[in-house]
């Protein structure tokens, strides 16, 4: 979604926006003086032998696991957009928002074993005492003002990321105050005073993992790469590949599944869980063929329903309430299919709902909900739950409509043969929206969905740009801009927002919306002429393609999301050079040239910033969009001829720094040619299902080492030294009052963000918290080394 722009078996669909800088408050350095884990102690011992610069770098590297006290928090303003809705539209938006928020809680269970328990711990504390009331308790418990603020920042971060791992980068974050101080605050809280036994059990269930920074818990990953709750802790990449082959054989999508492996002696068996309100043992006359026990490649697979059942029930309830206020039959049928999907665990029903969604052209209230983006599944096939509700911004939407109208003229400009483009461009809805609700692990700036290959290829899709997100995500102060020449900073601040708007539009519409997949269906029919289509990279006839049950995600798995984001980003860079495109967005003459320059400069800078999201120990990337931008940086550096400069320098503060330069006179020549060649290679591998060639190409440019012309491993330390923290967003709530729906706003600070979450779930707080704890407890053995066939039942 300029896929999460977050910017996601799909063709990934959203684009991750670049973080805004927040200076560190110094507590991260003091953090090294309290022993949260044994790894912290060993780190302290090793520091004495380091040079001062190395020691500084070590401390700042450690700070990536904390949120700074002065992290930016912004209000997502939708007051005017909501005010202009009719009473019926407000009711529709309200119930869709309720469905989205309850579904968004699924992300806690998709993130880490401890996230749901931490969430409940915080909710219980703040339900009894809001942040202002709790402050005096904190003082009396011995916390300094900085330590109490660190606690509020941690709580805000957990709510905003819907878990204790960053939604953008997948790195764990822990409280930036000593564990003993946090425990003292919990013990002094009113919630503990009223229910000491329950609160102590809750603390004990999550406090160890809450602070742990052991190697396997620092980031999300599969096997020894990190932690994931999409798979049981004993699953490996080989297990994920086996399960994918099984799902393909049953024509089941992985989107709404999790995989659990059981070991009994030397025998392994697998449980595939479908997210559904229907539980194991309940009568269900529909869709029964997918459930049951099957033997596949000499392994036993059991497919069950009922994952996240209590939350899916709430989602279905609110979707059904929203139907009464739908504006047309397409919306009603869409909601019916979504409800059927979440009731039965049927991805096919969700696809049907998505078809009705595509047909619902230009709605005033736009929404989408479900298991959508597969960025955080280490294997790249399972979707994280998200739901959004937004209101159309008519003025900005007119520009995007003009871009859609020009798409058929612009698509032939892309650097691949006509046969590699879709037979017919299916004009999508492309609107600018002001977000009312975005529930999930993070908020994107643009979206291109649905992610189902078959629908996107032959039926269509929608694009949205989230205007009120863009409005606050890129507010930048000159003194906080890193890695740019001083003479570029004013221009960057002036044109960053407008240039990104152009990039979002091109990325979503003509990036994710372009390109053909060559497919042979189950009857042997091809969607291309085998005898005539030539691979432009080899000069030979096309020799590989997708079979009926294969998709982009199932073939390219672990690199699919980032590869597709890279392709879409390249399309944006390539087509922003077109004067017609710039004119659509109101840029002419010198202004247009400045927009192009800043768009390309932003991409080069983002490629350097992307190093924050690379983990040297596992040689892996933790964020699809930032990996994609680093790849583009490598491509442009490789183009040579002075197009891009990257040098290590010493900053004015005496610390390591870096500077990037871009020769704007060579963008239309050297730069365009480099992107032309690379983009063609990306598309050809994608179209032809050439996994081996595509992976070799992408892995080569993704490599981070100290042996190339630029020491990227050392540059990574500099990026971490000066790293930026992403803003957190405070979202409004809606509340029914008589026949009206009211918008409830909150202040743009930690207290406002926390209060918004407490009030969001206040109607059924105790039952909801009990359900979350029960789901978490039931699955807890799945992430222990001794998980056996007797440990877990759905």
The string of DSSP codes covering 56-70 is HHHHHHHGGGS--TT
Mean residue pLDDT across the chain: 89
- The confidence band for 23, taking pLDDT boundaries of 50, 70 and 90, is very low
Whether the per-residue pLDDT at 472 is higher than 60: the answer is: yes
The answer to whether the bond into 450 is cis (omega within 30° of 0) is yes
Q: Could you report how far apart the first and last alpha carbons of the chain are, in Å?
A: 32
The confidence score (pLDDT) of residue 39 equals 38
- Return the beta strands (E) in 500-584 as ranges: 519-520, 546-547
Burial class (CB in 10 A: 0-12, 13-18, 19+), 48: exposed
The confidence score (pLDDT) of residue 294 equals 96
Rounded to an integer, the average pLDDT of 120-149 is 98
User: What are residue 384's DSSP bridge partners?
Assistant: 373
What DSSP line would sit under 407-423, residue for residue? HHHHGGGSSS-GGGS-S
Rounded to an integer, the average pLDDT of 68-77 is 93
What is the Cα–Cα distance from 751 to 453, expressed in whole angstroms? 42
How does DSSP classify residue 14? Answer: B
The confidence score (pLDDT) of residue 288 equals 59
Rounded to an integer, the average pLDDT of 130-149 is 98
Please name which of 125, 181, 71 lies closest in space to residue 754, comparing C-alpha atoms.
125
What is the Cα–Cα distance from 143 to 152, expressed in whole angstroms? 12
Whether the per-residue pLDDT at 723 is higher than 50: the answer is: yes
CB 499 within 8 A of CB 602: yes
What is the Cα–Cα distance from 571 to 575, expressed in whole angstroms? 6
How many residues belong to the chain? 794
HSE, CB side, 13 Å, CA atoms: give it for residue 520: 12
The confidence score (pLDDT) of residue 700 equals 96
Strand 446-449 and strand 462-466: the pairing is antiparallel
User: What are residue 386's DSSP bridge partners?
Assistant: 370
Whether the per-residue pLDDT at 34 is higher than 50: the answer is: no
Catalytic annotation present for 508: yes
The confidence score (pLDDT) of residue 679 equals 98
What is the Cα–Cα distance from 572 to 427, expressed in whole angstroms? 18
Integer angstrom CA distances of residue 365 from 327, 361, 449: 9, 11, 16
- Return the beta strands (E) in 339-428 as ranges: 365-373, 384-393
Task: Return the H-helix or E-strand segment holding 300.
Answer: strand 299-307
CB 422 within 8 A of CB 389: no
Whether the per-residue pLDDT at 11 is higher than 80: the answer is: no
What is the Cα–Cα distance from 764 to 390, expressed in whole angstroms? 25
The confidence score (pLDDT) of residue 4 equals 36
Whether the per-residue pLDDT at 790 is higher than 60: the answer is: no
User: No. of H helices and E strands in the chain?
Assistant: 30, 19
Rounded to an integer, the average pLDDT of 367-386 is 95
Integer angstrom CA distances of residue 306 from 203, 291, 346: 27, 11, 12
What is the Cα–Cα distance from 734 to 437, expressed in whole angstroms? 9
What is the Cα–Cα distance from 706 to 206, expressed in whole angstroms? 39
Residues 602-628: pLDDT tens digits?
A: 999 999 999 999 999 889 998 899 999
Residues 163-189: pLDDT tens digits?
A: 999 998 899 999 999 999 999 999 999
Any binding-site annotation on 512?
yes
The confidence score (pLDDT) of residue 594 equals 97
Active-site choice (18, 366, 373, 508): 508
Residues 638-674: pLDDT tens digits?
A: 999 999 999 999 999 999 999 999 999 999 999 999 9
Please state, for a pLDDT cut of 70, what percent of the chain lies above it: 89
The confidence score (pLDDT) of residue 281 equals 57
Strand 728-730 and strand 519-520: the pairing is unpaired
> What tokens appear for 88 in the block?
């019926």
What is the Cα–Cα distance from 536 to 595, expressed in whole angstroms? 32
Residues 233-251: pLDDT tens digits?
A: 999 999 999 999 999 999 9
HSE, CB side, 13 Å, CA atoms: give it for residue 168: 30
The confidence score (pLDDT) of residue 258 equals 98
Whether the per-residue pLDDT at 726 is higher than 90: the answer is: no
30-34, 392-396, 568-572: least confidently modelled range? 30-34
**Residue whose entry in the numeric block shows the structure tokens 């396997």:** 216
The confidence score (pLDDT) of residue 479 equals 75
HSE, CB side, 13 Å, CA atoms: give it for residue 284: 23
User: What are residue 258's DSSP bridge partners?
Assistant: 273
Q: What is the largest CA-CA distance in the chain?
A: 80
What is the Cα–Cα distance from 342 to 348, expressed in whole angstroms? 11
The confidence score (pLDDT) of residue 19 equals 38
**Residue whose entry in the numeric block shows the structure tokens 């610069």:** 53
> What tokens appear for 86 in the block?
């009719």
Residues 283-306: pLDDT tens digits?
A: 555 555 689 999 999 999 999 999
Whether the per-residue pLDDT at 20 is higher than 50: the answer is: no
Sheet of strand 365-373, all strands in order from the earlier edge strand to the far edge: 365-373, 384-393, 429-439, 462-466, 446-449
Comparing 791 with 158, the larger pLDDT belongs to: 158
Angle at which helices 145-161 and 131-140 cross, to 10°: 140
Highest mean pLDDT among 70-74, 105-109, 721-725, 778-782: 105-109
The confidence score (pLDDT) of residue 286 equals 53
Burial class (CB in 10 A: 0-12, 13-18, 19+), 737: exposed
Whether the per-residue pLDDT at 21 is higher than 90: the answer is: no
Q: What is the pTM of this model?
A: 0.77
How does DSSP classify residue 718? Answer: H
Whether the per-residue pLDDT at 260 is higher than 90: the answer is: yes
- Using only the alpha carbons of the chain, give its radius of gyration: 25
Please state, for a pLDDT cut of 90, what percent of the chain lies above it: 74
């Amino acid at each position: 979604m300029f896929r999460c722009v977050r910017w996601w078996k799909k063709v990934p669909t959203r684009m991750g926006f670049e973080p805004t800088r927040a200076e560190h408050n110094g507590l991260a350095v003091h953090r090294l003086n309290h022993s949260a884990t044994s790894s912290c102690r060993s780190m302290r011992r090793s520091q004495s032998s380091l040079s001062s610069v190395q020691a500084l770098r070590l401390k700042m590297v450690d700070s990536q696991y904390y949120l700074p006290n002065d992290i930016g928090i912004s209000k997502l303003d939708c007051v005017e957009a909501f005010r202009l809705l009719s009473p019926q539209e407000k009711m529709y938006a309200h119930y869709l928002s309720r469905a989205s928020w309850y579904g968004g809680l699924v992300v806690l269970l998709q993130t880490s074993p401890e996230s749901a328990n931490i969430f409940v711990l915080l909710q219980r504390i703040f339900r009894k005492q809001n942040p202002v009331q709790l402050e005096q308790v904190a003082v009396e418990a011995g916390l300094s003002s900085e330590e109490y603020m660190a606690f509020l920042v941690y709580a805000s971060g957990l709510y905003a990321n819907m878990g204790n791992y960053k939604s953008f980068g997948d790195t764990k974050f822990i409280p930036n105050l000593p564990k003993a101080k946090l425990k003292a605050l919990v013990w002094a809280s009113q919630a503990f005073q009223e229910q000491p036994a329950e609160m102590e059990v809750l603390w004990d269930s999550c406090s160890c993992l809450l602070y742990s920074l052991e190697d396997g818990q620092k980031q999300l990953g599969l096997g020894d790469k990190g932690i994931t709750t999409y798979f049981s802790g004993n699953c490996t990449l080989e297990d994920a590949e086996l399960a994918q082959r099984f799902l393909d054989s049953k024509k089941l999508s992985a989107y709404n599944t999790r995989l659990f492996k059981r070991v009994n002696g030397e025998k392994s068996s697998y449980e595939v869980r479908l997210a559904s309100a229907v539980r194991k043992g309940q009568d269900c006359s529909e869709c029964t063929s997918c459930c049951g026990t099957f033997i596949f490649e000499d392994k036993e697979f059991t497919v069950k329903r009922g994952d996240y059942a209590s939350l899916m029930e709430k989602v279905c309830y609110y979707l059904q309430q929203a139907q009464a206020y739908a504006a047309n039959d397409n919306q009603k049928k869409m909601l019916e299919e979504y409800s059927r999907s979440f009731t039965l665990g049927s991805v096919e029903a969700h696809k049907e709902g998505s078809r009705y969604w595509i047909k619902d052209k230009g709605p005033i209230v736009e929404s989408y909900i479900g298991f959508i983006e597969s960025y955080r599944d280490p294997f790249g096939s399972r979707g994280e739950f998200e739901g959004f509700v937004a209101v159309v911004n008519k003025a900005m939407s007119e520009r995007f409509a003009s871009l859609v109208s020009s798409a058929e003229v612009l698509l032939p400009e892309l650097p691949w043969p006509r046969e590699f483009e879709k037979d017919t461009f299916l004009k999508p809805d492309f609107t600018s929206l002001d977000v009312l609700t975005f529930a999930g692990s993070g908020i994107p700036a643009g979206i291109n969905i649905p992610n189902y290959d078959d629908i996107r290829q032959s039926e269509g899709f929608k694009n949205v740009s989230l205007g009120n997100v863009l409005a606050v995500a890129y507010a930048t102060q000159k003194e906080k801009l890193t890695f740019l020449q001083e003479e570029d900073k004013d221009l960057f601040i002036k044109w960053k927002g407008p240039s990104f708007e152009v990039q979002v539009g091109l990325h979503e519409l003509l990036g994710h919306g372009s390109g053909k997949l060559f497919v042979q269906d189950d009857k042997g029919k091809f969607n291309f002429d085998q005898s005539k289509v030539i691979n432009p990279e080899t000069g030979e006839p096309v020799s590989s393609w997708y079979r009926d049950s294969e998709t982009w995600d199932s073939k390219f798995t672990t690199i699919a999301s980032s590869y597709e984001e890279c392709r879409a980003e390249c399309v944006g860079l390539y087509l922003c050079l077109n004067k017609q495109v710039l004119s659509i967005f109101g840029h002419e003459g010198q202004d247009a040239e400045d927009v192009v320059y800043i768009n390309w400069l932003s991409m080069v800078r983002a490629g350097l910033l992307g190093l924050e999201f690379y983990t040297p120990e596992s040689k892996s990337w933790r964020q699809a969009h930032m990996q994609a931008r680093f790849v583009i940086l490598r491509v442009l550096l490789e183009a040579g001829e002075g197009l891009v400069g990257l040098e290590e320098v010493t900053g004015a503060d005496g610390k390591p720094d870096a500077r990037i330069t871009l020769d704007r006179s060579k963008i239309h020549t050297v730069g365009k040619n480099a992107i032309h060649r690379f983009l063609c290679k990306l598309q050809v591998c994608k179209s032809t299902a050439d996994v081996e060639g595509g992976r070799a190409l992408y892995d080569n440019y993704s490599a981070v080492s100290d042996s190339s012309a630029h020491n990227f491993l050392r540059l990574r330390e500099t990026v971490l030294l000066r790293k930026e923290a992403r803003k957190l967003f405070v979202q409004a709530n809606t509340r029914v009052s008589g026949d009206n729906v009211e918008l409830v706003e909150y202040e743009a600070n930690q207290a406002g963000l926390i209060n918004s979450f407490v009030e969001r779930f206040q109607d059924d707080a105790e039952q909801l918290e009990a359900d979350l704890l029960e789901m978490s407890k039931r699955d807890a053995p799945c992430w222990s080394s001794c998980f056996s066939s007797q440990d877990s039942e759905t």
